[in-house]
Amino acid sequence: MAKEAKQTKEKKPAKSTAKRRKTVAIDVFKAWCKGCGICVAFCPKGVLAHDEDGHAYAKNLEACIACMQCELRCPDFAITVITEDRLNAGKGGISHV
């Protein structure tokens, strides 16, 4: 008698949220920010805007998905995305504060 194959459907594990980076703050070093607007233009979530002096700032931090586009594209290294995992790793990047 042939053994019946067990029909054990393995459940796919739920997508882990452990690796998702939560943004704590967007730090703009104003002395280096020339207000070019590149970070504002490339942010896919409309997080960034210009303040009254033309510097970038996080107008809508809650919408940030920590994609790092602003930080990677800033030609003046003026903007830093501070995430929980960076802080936990001791890499807050806010040495000028």
Question: Is 24 one of the binding residues for ligand SF4 (CB under 6 A)?
Answer: no
Q: Which DSSP letter does residue 59 get?
A: S
Q: Say how far apart CA 96 and CA 92 lie, in whole Å.
A: 11
Q: Which residues contact 68 (CB under 8 A, 6 or more apart)?
A: 81
Residue with tokens 């194959």: 5
Stretch of residues binding ligand SF4 (CB under 6 A), selected from 2-10, 11-19, 21-29, 89-97: 21-29
Candidates 24, 27, 28, 93: give the one binding ligand SF4 (CB under 6 A): 28
Binding mask 42-81 for ligand SF4 (x = CB under 6 A): -xxx-xx-------x-------xxxxxxx---x-x-xx-x
User: What is the CB-side half-sphere exposure of residue 24 using CA atoms within 13 A?
Assistant: 12
Candidates 24, 38, 80, 93: give the one binding ligand SF4 (CB under 6 A): 38
User: What is the CB-side half-sphere exposure of residue 9 using CA atoms within 13 A?
Assistant: 2
Interacting residues toward ligand SF4 by CB under 6 A:
23, 26, 28, 33-39, 43-45, 47-48, 56, 64-70, 74, 76, 78-79, 81
